[in-house]
Amino acid sequence: MDKKYLTPQEIVKELDKYIIGQDEAKKNVAIALRNRWRRMNVKPEMQAEIMPNNILMIGATGVGKTEIARRLAKIADAPFVKVEASKFTEVGYVGRDVESMVRDLVAQAVLLVKRNKQEAVKEKAEKIVEDIILDALIPPVKGSPAGFATPAGSDQEPVTDQELNERTRERFREKIRNRELEDRKIDITVQQPATGGIGMIGGGMMDEASMINLQEMLGNMLPKKTKKRKVTIAEARKILMEEETARLIDMDEVKEEAIAKAENAGIIFIDEIDKIAGPGKQGGGPDVSREGVQRDLLPIVEGSAVNTKYGVVKTDHVLFIAAGAFHVSKPSDLIPELQGRFPIRVELENLTEDDFYHILKEPRTALTRQYQALFEAEQVALSFTDEALRAIARTAFRINEEVENIGARRLSTVMSHLLNEFLFDVPEKIGPNAKIAISEEMVEEKLAGLVQNKDLSQYIL
């Protein structure tokens, strides 16, 4: 079954491969994702009326809020953008324009669609590139009745120069396909950008998208320059593949599909939304600015048309997932209109010592597996005993309790402190085929100072 159309329970199973715990959050995002497929399969007159149930995740840092949203987007093969609410400010102040997150989303959608299109034309592009490389190595010869390669008096049929050339070309074609000539250099003709950039005078009245569109249009009108380069066949294949796939793809079609994908499947994750929440105060000050950011976000979350370099994008059916720790403020401190746009509230649980152990052991991309891959690149085998994983989890949990709770991110700090000495010694002191076995005793010895030292500020991420 296509991942885009998984059932809610199947979506949760996929998320379980990477994220430990947080069952309630997984359940809600799984329903939100499946609802998108359901909406596309109702009567057309109802499709526009069914709005996504945006989600507000409440939980401390490092409990998995971002990871849940990011993995959800991968499952759905959907464009995904993460923004921090605190980066947005009112118009007139220094900061990012709230519409930029929609422009970023469309840019991600274009990359996704383009990658899929490139995969579809890959085989055709490879054949064209192969022919270009072959022509550069052994140029084809036109047929001619003159010039025979068969010795006089031979009983064999005479062979023309063209036939000899074709046989040679076929031998070399095989060598090219088998990557036998990768280091040989050939001359190729590549396209050069028409200009390094087009300056605009008096562009104060134009928005960013219009400026980009105008520059792109003027750039396309200018003649394309070409340049001869001497490169290896390996380099030529890479350069030519990019050029040929670009020629085979209809960019207008890519833009149309990307806009549709962003509008109907896009996910925008707004982190640190608690930083712009707060009880309203009279007069100027930071609280007014925070409320201004909320009011700027409101039309985007409600549904509006945003002008991007690829066209106008409507945000009505984009799924918004907001998140925040809400230690100081609370969700009710958000303006009522914005609260109403996030009807699903999910409280994520603080991670326990046992959770840390499972995070180290079970996910496909667990930190332990990442470090094993790094050592494997040097032909060194890294292993952990079960007791060692328990000791790492215990240490990380204790530091979180004593200093500052940064959730699962603390595991990165502890693992780095544990393994950096080994990473430094490879490959000089620890050579290929070596084995490093991390035991409970080793963990306790190496991390003892980290736990005993109460001034741990240098280890806080």
| pLDDT, mean of residues 237-263 | 93
> Comparing 3-109+258-347 with 353-452, is the CATH topology the same?
no
pLDDT tens digits, one per residue of 178-189: 999 999 999 888
Distances in whole angstroms, Cα of residue 154 to Cα of each of 121, 147, 149, 165, 255: 48, 15, 11, 20, 63
- Please tell me the predicted confidence (pLDDT) of residue 146: 47
Q: Indicate if the pLDDT at residue 333 is higher than 60.
A: yes
**Given pLDDT bands bounded at 50, 70 and 90, which one contains residue 151?**
low
Model confidence pLDDT, tens digit, residues 425-440: 999 999 899 999 999 9
Question: What pLDDT, on the 0 to 100 scale, is given for residue 5?
Answer: 79
Amino acid at residue number 53: N
Q: Residue 202: is its pLDDT beyond 50?
A: no
* Total count of residues recorded for the chain: 461
Gyration radius of the chain over CA positions: 29
Q: Tell me if residue 188 falls in helix, strand or coil.
A: strand
DSSP state letters, 226-290 = EEEEEEEHHHHHHHHHHHHHHHHS-HHHHHHHHHHHHHHH-EEEEE-GGGG-----SSSSHHHHH
| Cβ–Cβ under 8 Å, residues 53 and 344 | yes
How many angstroms separate the CA atoms of 319 and 178, rounded?
Answer: 47
CA–CA distance, 91 with 320 (Å, rounded to integer): 22
Q: Indicate whether 455 pLDDT > 70.
A: no
For 347, other C-beta atoms within 10 Å of its C-beta total 12
Q: CB neighbours of 4 closer than 8 A, spacing ≥ 6? A: 37, 75, 76, 77, 265
Three-state DSSP at 131 gives helix
Per-residue burial over 178-213, b = 16 or more CB atoms within 10 Å of its CB, e = otherwise: eeebeeeebebeeeeeeeeeeeeeeeeeeeebeeeb
More confident position, 190 or 114: 114
DSSP H helical ranges for 313-405 = 336-340, 353-361, 367-376, 386-402
- For the chain, the structural domain boundaries read 3-109+258-347, 115-142+159-254, 353-452
Joined tokens for residue 30: 């799984």
Give dist(CA 244, CA 125) in Å, integer. 6
SS3 call for 370: helix
Query: Rounded to an integer, what is the distance from CA 360 to the centroid of its chain?
Result: 23
Spatial separation of the C-alpha atoms in residues 205 and 36, rounded to whole Å: 38
Q: Per-residue confidence at 143, pLDDT binned at 50, 70, 90?
A: low
∠ at Cα 45 (40, 47), nearest 5°? 30
> Sign of the CA dihedral 287, 289, 291, 297?
negative
For residue 285, the model assigns a pLDDT of 46
Distance from C-alpha of 266 to C-alpha of 186, rounded to nearest angstrom: 44
The two tokens of residue 340 are 């109403």
pLDDT of residue 153: 52
Residue 461's pLDDT is: 42
The answer to which of 148-152, 330-334, 445-449 has the lowest mean pLDDT is 148-152
What's the mean per-residue pLDDT of the chain? Answer: 85
Q: pLDDT-derived band of residue 225, with 50, 70 and 90 as boundaries?
A: confident
What pLDDT is recorded for position 212?
A: 55
Q: What is the pLDDT of residues 271-327, one digit of tens each?
A: 999 999 865 444 444 455 788 889 999 999 999 999 999 999 999 999 999 999 998
Phi/psi for 121 (5° steps) reads -100, 5
User: If DSSP codes are grouped into helix, strand and coil, which group holds residue 456?
Assistant: coil
d(CA 258, CA 246): 16
80-94, 203-217, 278-292: which has the highest mean pLDDT? 80-94
Phi-psi region of 318 (alpha: psi -120 to 50; beta: other; left: phi over 0): beta
The CATH T-level fold of domain 353-452 is: Helicase, Ruva Protein; domain 3 (1.10.8)
* Residue-by-residue DSSP string for 48-98: TT-----EEEE--TTSSHHHHHHHHHHHHT--EEEEEGGGB--TTSSSB-T
CA 187 from centre of chain: 35
Residues forming beta bridges with residue 345, ordered by sequence position: 56
- Rounded to whole angstroms, the Cα distance separating 268 from 98 reads 12
Closest to 434 in 3D by CA, of 369, 389, 383, 388: 383
For residue 11, the number of C-alpha atoms closer than 13 Å in the C-beta half-sphere is 28
Q: What is the pLDDT of residue 448?
A: 83
pLDDT, average across residues 41-53 = 90
Collapse the DSSP code of 392 into the 3-class scheme (helix H, G, I; strand E, B; otherwise coil) and give the result: helix
Q: Percent of the chain at pLDDT above 90?
A: 66
**Architecture of the structural domain at 3-109+258-347:** 3-Layer(aba) Sandwich (3.40)
Identity of the residue numbered 81: V
**Of 44-48, 78-82, 159-163, where does the model show the most confidence?**
78-82
